[in-house]
Amino acid sequence: MIPEFGQFALIMALIMAILLATLPLIGAAKNIPAWVSVARPLAQAQLLSLTVSFGCLVYVFIQNDFSVLYAVNNSNTRLPLEFRISAVWGAHEGSLLLWALTLGVWTSAVAVFSKKIPDVMIARVLSVMGFISIGFILFILVTSNPFERIFPAPLEGRDLNPLLQDFGLIIHPPMLYMGYVGLSVAFAFAIAAMLAGKLDAAWARWSRPWTSIAWVFLTLGISLGSWWAYYELGWGGWWFWDPVENASFMPWLVATALIHSLAVTEKRGSLKAWTVLLAIFAFSLSLLGTFLVRSGVLTSVHSFASDPERGLFILIFLVLVVGSSLALYAWRAPEIKSNTRFSWFSKETALLLNNILLVIATATILLGTLYPLIIDALNLGKISVGPPYFNSVFVPIMVPLVALMSVGVFIRWKQDSVQRVKKHLLIYLLISLVLGALSTFAMPTFTLGAMIGTTLAWWVVLNMGYSFKQRFKAKGISWDGLKKTPRAIYGMHIAHVGIAVFTVGVTLTSIYSTEKDVMLTPGGSYSLAGYDFKFAGSKRIVGPNYHGERAHVIVSKDGEMIADLEPEKRIYTVQRSPMTEAAIDAGFFRDLFVAMGEPRGDQGGWALRLYHKPFIRWIWLGTLIMGFGGLLAATDKRYRKVK
């Protein structure tokens, strides 16, 4: 009964979504207050239905109800409880339901937290979100029903893909979806503003906190995915430029651009048309990502079991949503007048440059991701576009962006003078170069790449300090002044420092990581980057749904013991797939990483892969700092006030 109830709740959610997409919109257009006022209750009813539906699916998994096909394919009685729950979103159907639920959560949140925004505006916003919701719920019901029964019901399920039986995968998809779907809020605000013909600074002000929050989720979601790939796949890498990763990174880049252009639009009433376009782009790219991941047009390590029929459905949906928004844009945008003046040396120009570079980066990634598809569609064969391409084109775009960002934070709106900042910039550049050089000399070898990376990082950090101090002018920094400084100001500076930390991590890890595949018999050892890895032997292990071998590796430096690492090699019984569980000794300045290969010889020898990864933690630390900064900015009091 429960699965049918879940499906019924989903149909209820669809009805709520249809009502939400139509009534308030018509009400707003024809001035019928009663129809406008149903928007908020409908949003709540939709969330309730979706929660019930999702709850039913969770129940199916907890109860091991193998009369449900989706549970059969992705669960097993011996799967630990926490993974039975996360298995709900471990494959296509359930993850789509999570998508729909997430959209329900955002819709409801907009309904609750926008009490001060005019009802008509909110009615339009909720309607747009309702329309998106229709698409996704229909998609689930028509092509990917997670409640589908199977008869006769098997006694046992096929188990969850072992790669997904991991803590990181419990939280990564919900976080990422909160980010993806969160971008629909800014999108809905932009569309609503266009529908109303009111593309003033107000909509920008309203959507700013929503965009920031979505951006925070997206940042953390992507970062979690990268962290998971790092320790779970055993490749020691943290970013592979895989189409699915790119699909999450492109909306992030555009959302970052959007956050900045929203600031210009809100504060200066400039770039209005452009900001609307970015809001459309950000969400469109997140829909495009859904298409790429689920249609099977591209091969990826992370893609779901795909099916062209599903691809067709999403494509049609994409055409409806994005096509109509861009058509609306083509119709409404020419009416927008932004006639504010700014000089070539101003914050406006700096933020415009930021936007341009971020959009170029996005376009480049899109080009690289879709290029194999283009070549194939033109019947010119098959090619691969991978990390060597992306790294070589992406880094040259990011270096100037990071360099300019540090200047952009403190130059003035409208007009600033080069004279005013010239001296400061020269001195700071010099200090950064010196500090960068010193940092690089502390590394094992001197490389130009490390010099550029560390100098950039210092440049950012120093300028953030300078910019923050500038806010207090001659008065000096006082406790009172610090308290009065808005959270958004803290947030902005902190987020940019996060970029600096991230830059250090990426640069130093890419340049100074060392790795080695070795063959060790018990008692044998190998020295990598000054660390002695001693293989003490291995023993058999038995887990709830797997068995395998666990190695014991003792790491020491200069005779002093540093870590006991116990990597595992598991065979998951049901899917009979081998998995490596890498063992990592995480440190602030370096990670030591051991993964098991194959047994060798008859003396208990094993092939092991050893890694030394300097500064890799800084990558995720940087994203955490960015996320924290974003959170501060999003929760600034100013956004909660009525204008």
By CB under 8 A, what part of segment 125-164 binds other proteins?
A: 163
**281-306 in b/e burial notation, b at 16+ Cβ within 10 A?**
bbbbbbbbbbbbbbbbbbebeebbeb
Residue 48 interacts with other proteins (CB under 8 A): yes or no: no
CB nearer to other proteins: pick between 175 and 352: 352
To the nearest whole angstrom, how small is the minimum distance from the Cβ of residue 342 to other proteins? 5
To the nearest whole angstrom, how small is the minimum distance from the Cβ of residue 203 to other proteins? 13
To the nearest whole angstrom, how small is the minimum distance from the Cβ of residue 500 to other proteins? 24
Q: For CA atoms 443, 449, 451, 452, give the dihedral sign.
A: negative
Residue 155: exposure state from Cβ atoms within 10 A (0-12, 13-18, ≥19):
exposed
Calpha distance 411→500 (Å, rounded): 19
- Other C-beta atoms closer than 10 Å to the C-beta of 511 total 18
Residue 597: exposure state from Cβ atoms within 10 A (0-12, 13-18, ≥19):
middle
Beta bridge mates, 609? 517, 595
To the nearest whole angstrom, how small is the minimum distance from the Cβ of residue 374 to other proteins? 6
Residue 242 interacts with other proteins (CB under 8 A): yes or no: yes
Treating both helix axes as pointing N-terminal to C-terminal, what angle do 119-143 and 39-62 enclose, rounded to 10 degrees? 30
CB nearer to other proteins: pick between 61 and 546: 546
Calpha distance 413→269 (Å, rounded): 12
Among 608, 626, 632, 634, binds other proteins (CB under 8 A): 608
Residues within window 432-451 making contact with other proteins, judged by CB under 8 A: none
| Nearest partner of 218 among 117, 292, 286, judged by Cα | 286
CB nearer to other proteins: pick between 15 and 528: 528
Residue 246 interacts with other proteins (CB under 8 A): yes or no: no
Residue 549 interacts with other proteins (CB under 8 A): yes or no: no
| Nearest partner of 276 among 210, 215, 200, judged by Cα | 200
Residue 8 interacts with other proteins (CB under 8 A): yes or no: no
To the nearest whole angstrom, how small is the minimum distance from the Cβ of residue 298 to other proteins? 6
**601-627 in b/e burial notation, b at 16+ Cβ within 10 A?**
eeebbbebbbbbbbbbbbbbbbbbbbb
CB nearer to other proteins: pick between 74 and 212: 74
Among 375, 399, 425, 624, binds other proteins (CB under 8 A): 375
CB nearer to other proteins: pick between 177 and 281: 281
CB nearer to other proteins: pick between 337 and 422: 337
To the nearest whole angstrom, how small is the minimum distance from the Cβ of residue 339 to other proteins? 4
Residue 370 interacts with other proteins (CB under 8 A): yes or no: yes
To the nearest whole angstrom, how small is the minimum distance from the Cβ of residue 213 to other proteins? 26
Among 452, 486, 600, 624, binds other proteins (CB under 8 A): 600
Task: Characterise 601 by phi-psi region: left (phi > 0), alpha (psi -120 to 50), beta (else).
Answer: left
Give the tokens for residue 131. Answer: 């329309």
Residues within window 318-357 making contact with other proteins, judged by CB under 8 A: 318-319, 322-323, 326-327, 329-331, 333-335, 337, 339-344, 348-349, 352-353, 356
What contacts 455, CB < 8 A, 6 or more positions away? 432, 433, 435, 436, 437
Residue 11 interacts with other proteins (CB under 8 A): yes or no: no
| Stretch in the footprint of other proteins (CB under 8 A) among 66-74, 220-228, 267-275, 443-451 | 267-275
Give the tokens for residue 231. Answer: 């320790």
Among 447, 521, 575, 635, binds other proteins (CB under 8 A): 575
Residue 418 interacts with other proteins (CB under 8 A): yes or no: no
Residue 607 interacts with other proteins (CB under 8 A): yes or no: yes
Task: Characterise 399 by phi-psi region: left (phi > 0), alpha (psi -120 to 50), beta (else).
Answer: alpha
H or E stretch at 597: strand 590-600
Among 151, 152, 155, 384, binds other proteins (CB under 8 A): 384
Report how far Cα 73 is from the mean position of its chain's Cα atoms: 27
To the nearest whole angstrom, how small is the minimum distance from the Cβ of residue 563 to other proteins? 20
Residue 529 interacts with other proteins (CB under 8 A): yes or no: no
Among 197, 474, 602, 603, binds other proteins (CB under 8 A): 197
Among 152, 381, 476, 559, binds other proteins (CB under 8 A): 381
CB nearer to other proteins: pick between 311 and 537: 311
What contacts 637, CB < 8 A, 6 or more positions away? 486, 487
Calpha distance 400→628 (Å, rounded): 24
| Stretch in the footprint of other proteins (CB under 8 A) among 17-25, 56-64, 255-263, 266-274 | 266-274
Do 534 and 509 contact (CB within 8 A), yes or no?
A: no
| Stretch in the footprint of other proteins (CB under 8 A) among 18-26, 55-63, 272-280, 476-484 | 272-280
CB nearer to other proteins: pick between 160 and 298: 298
Q: What are phi and psi of 515, to 5 degrees?
A: -150, 160
- In the Cβ-directed half-sphere of 484, how many Cα atoms lie within 13 Å? 7
Total of residues contacting other proteins (CB under 8 A) = 101
Q: What are phi and psi of 384, to 5 degrees?
A: -115, 140
Among 579, 619, 626, 633, binds other proteins (CB under 8 A): 579
Spell out the SS3 assignment of 513-578.
CEEEEEEECCCCEEEECCEEEEEEEEEEEECCCEEEEEEEEEEEECCEEEEEECCEEEEECCCCEE
How many Å from the N-terminal Cα to the C-terminal Cα in the chain? 51
| Stretch in the footprint of other proteins (CB under 8 A) among 15-23, 426-434, 459-467, 600-608 | 600-608
CB nearer to other proteins: pick between 395 and 536: 395
To the nearest whole angstrom, how small is the minimum distance from the Cβ of residue 305 to other proteins? 8
Calpha distance 503→235 (Å, rounded): 21
CB nearer to other proteins: pick between 374 and 442: 374
CB nearer to other proteins: pick between 50 and 199: 199
Residue 412 interacts with other proteins (CB under 8 A): yes or no: no
Between the alpha carbon of residue 395 and those of residues 249, 391, 392, the distances in Å are 15, 6, 6
Residues within window 468-527 making contact with other proteins, judged by CB under 8 A: 517-519
To the nearest whole angstrom, how small is the minimum distance from the Cβ of residue 344 to other proteins? 5
| Stretch in the footprint of other proteins (CB under 8 A) among 33-41, 124-132, 135-143, 192-200 | 192-200
Between the alpha carbon of residue 478 and those of residues 472, 475, 492, 560, the distances in Å are 8, 8, 20, 47
CB nearer to other proteins: pick between 296 and 587: 296
Among 168, 225, 243, 627, binds other proteins (CB under 8 A): 243
- In the Cβ-directed half-sphere of 510, how many Cα atoms lie within 13 Å? 20
CB nearer to other proteins: pick between 563 and 595: 595
| Nearest partner of 189 among 177, 176, 212, 205, judged by Cα | 205
Residues within window 288-317 making contact with other proteins, judged by CB under 8 A: 291, 295-301, 303, 306-308, 311-312, 315
Residue 359 interacts with other proteins (CB under 8 A): yes or no: yes
